[in-house]
Amino acid sequence: GITRHYKFNIRMQNVTRLCQTKSIITVNGKFPGPRIIAREGDRLVIKVVNHVSNNITIHWHGIRQLRSGWADGPSYITQCPIQTGQSYVYNFTIIGQTGTLWYHAHVSWIRSTLYGPIVILPRRNTSYPFVKPYKEVPIIFGEWWNSDTQAVINQALQTGAGPNNSDAYTINGLPGPLYNNCASPMETFRLKVKPGKTYLLRLINAALNDELFFKIRNHTFTIVDADASYVKPFETDTIYITPGQTSNVLFKTKTLTSNAKFMMAARPYSTNAAGTFDNTTVAGVLEYMSDSMSSSSINASIKGLPLPTLPVINATSYVANWTNKFRSLGISQFPVNVPQTVQNRYYFAVGLGTDPCPKNQTCQGPINGTKFAASVNNISFTLPTTALLQARYFGKSNGVFTTDFPTTPLNPFNYTGTPPNNTMISHGTKVVVLPYNTTVELVMQGTSIFGFENHPLHLHGFNFYVVGQGTGNFNSATDPTSFNLVDPVERNTVGVPSGGWVAVRFRADNPGVWFMHCHIEIHLSWGLRMAWAVMDPNQKLPPPPSDLPQC
Ligand code: C2O
């Protein structure tokens, strides 16, 4: 591979959406951020310079970071934030991954405007295990708030209530024409295609708080990849994608002769709104051929077009069947390395809960006198004030974290039926220590204490194999007999189903301290996060770079 250099100047930029102009945090003034392109095997050297008043870190979501944990990016886990006026060079090599990943800020809610695609092409002189696409197009879903997102999260944490809903979902930063009467016509995403060609769409869900359905009217997709791992191709007309997930899909256009147009739309799987199209739906348009329609007339012309029909809100069975469709490609160049035996077993209950309201504060949590919180095995993870990886590497973990993270829930209960009463949680900075190169099986049980929440759990530093999933309570005697140890999908983010469980396996072959959390940003903020520490005396990381930020 070669070395590719990028410079990310983090700076404020005025952006207008939904008739309002606001100053947002961007990479090089771009929203969404610029595309990173590399081939498998290349080294990326990305200098990030912080010109804004907020602390910044950037996470390269899904990049394995083999022995390069200092470049992973989650604040207070692998590094202290880059302070105003400071810079840090992220330096890492892409090993064994081809597909689409993405980058985003990993401090507070700054990722709401700071995100962009990472396109990883196959090594030179190698090709995709599918037909060569005519063109490749990144499609990034996001969320837009008219108000300042830092204020949204600060207010939610203060009152203990849920955060204000976003004002729009977006495709490549654009909210589309549906409800957005004063929006400029420029605010509609237009996918211009030629007839009879195969495109590769690189889908990324960068939305903060919602899993999404996506569809293009009268068209189908062939899924070929998930989280930069190839899967056995399958066809679908509707895509479901959780925050943090990526997927490459082939998109074959029709052999039309006219300048036809078709609507595309995305909307959340779970929402407070009734199951109708409303302002939680983002639409764009697929335009065939030489359509030279100007931006100023496009919104009017597509408003009358029929929308695709998306699954109903809270379509849990659709989502369960969807997840089951993914299988690793499993051909000799891309073998399946799922651990057949397990050395470390964990059972994590993941979900929401409550904290008592502090004295002399009024709280608006789900139960009177409480604040929303979230936990793994009843532990709501507290961010430390110095980076865990530094503390661990320099043997200074005393007072920073403890290694007593529970391997099973502190208060086991029935995860189905009437919401149980053990939502109270405790707080701590606890990690699980994993011996280097041992195998792990992790069953994650969704507690479903409040409503239909699903939890897209994201693991840094590894891909895991999704070996099983089911509804209701996990049964450790019977459920493992149906685990798929042949061709399970390999990914970095998996949805823990509402009132169900998912089982994953991975090998702890990457020394470092690795964050794992729900990629629904408000759940992350509430504490649905933990960390794994993988290191032994012989498998040391290289020392930190000299410009590693200090707290
Ligand atoms: Cu994409 Cu820790 O996150």
pLDDT tier, 447 (very low <50, low <70, confident <90, very high otherwise): confident
Distance, C-alpha 313 to centroid of its chain: 20
Task: Identify the residue whose C-alpha is closest to ligand 1 atom 1.
Answer: 61
Note if the pTM is more than 0.80. yes
Is 453:423 a contact under the CB 8 Å cutoff?
Answer: no
Q: What is the pLDDT of residue 448?
A: 74
pLDDT tens by residue, 345-393: 999 999 988 899 988 888 988 888 889 999 999 999 999 999 999 999 9
Compute the distance between CA of residue 213 and CA of residue 489 in angstroms, rounded to an integer.
20
Task: Identify the residue whose C-alpha is closest to ligand 1 atom 3.
Answer: 61
Of 110-114, 496-500, 531-535, the one with minimum mean pLDDT is: 496-500
Is 507:526 a contact under the CB 8 Å cutoff?
Answer: no
Is 222:239 a contact under the CB 8 Å cutoff?
Answer: no
Compute the distance between CA of residue 525 and CA of residue 371 in angstroms, rounded to an integer.
12
Compute the distance between CA of residue 61 and CA of residue 118 in angstroms, rounded to an integer.
9
Q: Is 17 in the pocket of ligand 1 (CB under 6 A)?
A: no
Specify the DSSP class assigned to residue 475.
-
Cis peptide before 356 (omega within 30 of 0): no
Three-state DSSP state, 321: helix
Q: What is the pLDDT of residue 425?
A: 86
Where helices occur in 247-328 by DSSP H, the ranges are 295-303, 316-324
Q: Determine the distance separating the centroid of ligand 1 and the alpha carbon of 25, expressed in angstroms.
A: 18
pLDDT tens by residue, 203-237: 999 999 999 999 999 999 999 999 999 999 999 99
Q: Ligand 1 atom closest to Cα of 243?
A: 1
pLDDT at 411 over 80: no
Q: Ligand 1 atom closest to Cα of 493?
A: 1
Q: Determine the distance separating the centroid of ligand 1 and the alpha carbon of 493, expressed in angstroms.
A: 9
Compute the distance between CA of residue 381 and CA of residue 531 in angstroms, rounded to an integer.
9
pLDDT at 450 over 70: no
CB atoms within 10 A of CB 545: 14
Among residues 458, 505, 459, which one has the least CA distance to residue 328? Answer: 505
Q: Determine the distance separating the centroid of ligand 1 and the alpha carbon of 61, expressed in angstroms.
A: 6
Q: Determine the distance separating the centroid of ligand 1 and the alpha carbon of 459, expressed in angstroms.
A: 8
Q: What is the pLDDT of residue 415?
A: 80
User: If you average pLDDT over residues 264-292, what whole number do you get?
Assistant: 72
CA 360 to each of CA 155, 354, 447: distance values in angstroms, whole numbers, following the listed order: 17, 18, 31
Q: Is 455 in the pocket of ligand 1 (CB under 6 A)?
A: no
pLDDT at 141 over 80: yes
Among residues 254, 247, 257, 142, which one has the least CA distance to residue 200? Answer: 247
Q: Is 515 in the pocket of ligand 1 (CB under 6 A)?
A: yes
Q: Determine the distance separating the centroid of ligand 1 and the alpha carbon of 477, expressed in angstroms.
A: 33
Among residues 22, 19, 9, 280, which one has the least CA distance to residue 149? Answer: 22
CA 130 to each of CA 126, 222, 231, 338: distance values in angstroms, whole numbers, following the listed order: 12, 10, 11, 23
Average pLDDT, the chain: 92
Q: Is 529 in the pocket of ligand 1 (CB under 6 A)?
A: no
Q: Is 517 in the pocket of ligand 1 (CB under 6 A)?
A: yes
pLDDT tier, 320 (very low <50, low <70, confident <90, very high otherwise): confident
pLDDT at 422 over 60: no
